[in-house]
Amino acid sequence: MSDGDACLARKALTLHEILCDAYGAPFPYFQSLDPLSELVSTMLNHRTRNRDAKAAFQALRDAFPTWEEVRDAPVADVQASIAPATWPEAKAPKVQAALRAITERAGRLSLDFLGGMPADEARAWLEAMDGVGPKTSAAVLSFSTLRGRALPVDSHHHRVAQRVGLVGPKVGVGPSHAILEGFLPDAWDAQAVYDHHQAFMRHGQKVCHWRGPDCAGCVVAELCDARQGRRAVPAVTAVPLPLFDRPGAG
């Protein structure tokens, strides 16, 4: 690690400690879906409000009791069931394609076996599928019942990381995963990594807003490059977020 990266790693840990204290870590996991269900849930959540994504997921489960039925159903029926999500016409065939790919590659429609793999190998397995990038693979490992050691980076987390100077203003969500994970101590367990994401995400939701951030009420303002004028970071990133994250993308 270069001197510059080491400095950023120390800064990341300081930010972690301040934000975790401010928002009350350790944080409970917000849901307990099996990894396959988490994959579908995450795909439905892309560019969709949480409440709408949850409604779409529940409607899908109500319409099709098994994932095999979702996989084999007419795409129009799947699309209709996930109507609360944004762009159901794009997400329905993507979800079905992922379910078919898992069946073909794993020999069964389950992702439970990922729990027996190192996190980096499990994420590589997931990211080999079209439409699955680092954000989705990390979410499957971290948020599901696997409770794996992986760092998801959503738009709120990414925005805070840009503004405080942990990643550059032109680094997209996808590439930021490897950079931000590289700052975390190897000794951290899955809960600590999850807390890191949750603390940054909550700060982005509550204080470091997309437009009009509440800098006066920010507990890390003194460490923020954008606030201190050390780096010109736009209020809205110039890097577009894709509908589905792909390897090397958002």
Residues 6+ apart with CB under 8 A from 230: 165
Model pLDDT for residues 24-38, shown as the tens digit of each residue: 999 999 999 999 999
Average pLDDT taken over every residue of the chain: 92
| Tokens of residue 110, six digits | 């389950």
What local confidence, expressed as pLDDT, does residue 131 receive?
A: 85
Cis peptide before 26 (omega within 30 of 0): yes
Model pLDDT for residues 41-55, shown as the tens digit of each residue: 999 999 899 999 999
Q: What is the mean pLDDT of residues 8-32?
A: 97
Instruction: Give the C-alpha distances (Å, rounded to integers) separating 135 from 22, 126, 130, 157.
Output: 25, 11, 13, 11
CA-closest candidate to residue 152, choices 140, 161, 162, 163: 140
Model pLDDT for residues 102-148, shown as the tens digit of each residue: 999 999 999 999 999 999 999 999 999 998 999 999 999 999 999 99
What percentage of the chain exceeds 70 in pLDDT?
92
pLDDT-derived band at 40 (thresholds 50, 70, 90) equals: very high
The type of residue at 115 is: G
Give the span between the Cα atoms of 32 and 41, in whole angstroms.
Answer: 11
What local confidence, expressed as pLDDT, does residue 229 receive?
A: 82
User: Is 246 a residue whose pLDDT tops 60?
Assistant: no
Beta-strand (E) ranges in the chain?
Answer: none
Name the DSSP class of 231. Answer: S
pLDDT-derived band at 231 (thresholds 50, 70, 90) equals: low
What local confidence, expressed as pLDDT, does residue 228 receive?
A: 87
What local confidence, expressed as pLDDT, does residue 1 receive?
A: 74
Give the span between the Cα atoms of 246 and 190, in whole angstroms.
Answer: 24
Model pLDDT for residues 210-223, shown as the tens digit of each residue: 999 999 999 999 99
CA-closest candidate to residue 39, choices 95, 101, 88, 87: 95
Name the DSSP class of 112. Answer: G
Q: Which residue has the tokens 């006066």?
A: 216
| Tokens of residue 111, six digits | 């992702």
pLDDT-derived band at 65 (thresholds 50, 70, 90) equals: very high
- Return the ∠ at Cα 197 (arms to 183 and 82), rounded to 5°: 135
| Tokens of residue 176, six digits | 């930021």
Domains and CATH numbers, the chain: 3-27+152-228 (1.10.1670.10), 35-143 (1.10.340.30)
Model pLDDT for residues 156-192, shown as the tens digit of each residue: 999 999 999 999 999 999 999 999 999 999 999 999 9
Taking a C-beta distance cutoff of 8 angstroms, is the pair 173, 138 a contact? no
User: Is 250 a residue whose pLDDT tops 90?
Assistant: no
Kindly provide the b/e burial profile for residues 111-140, where b requires at least 16 CB atoms within 10 angstroms of the residue's own CB. beebeeeebeebbebbbebebbbbbbbbbb
Give the span between the Cα atoms of 239 and 65, in whole angstroms.
Answer: 38
Taking a C-beta distance cutoff of 8 angstroms, is the pair 59, 79 a contact? no
User: Is 242 a residue whose pLDDT tops 60?
Assistant: no
Give the span between the Cα atoms of 135 and 174, in whole angstroms.
Answer: 7
Three-state secondary structure call for residue 114: helix
pLDDT-derived band at 232 (thresholds 50, 70, 90) equals: low
How much is the pTM?
A: 0.89
Taking a C-beta distance cutoff of 8 angstroms, is the pair 138, 151 a contact? yes
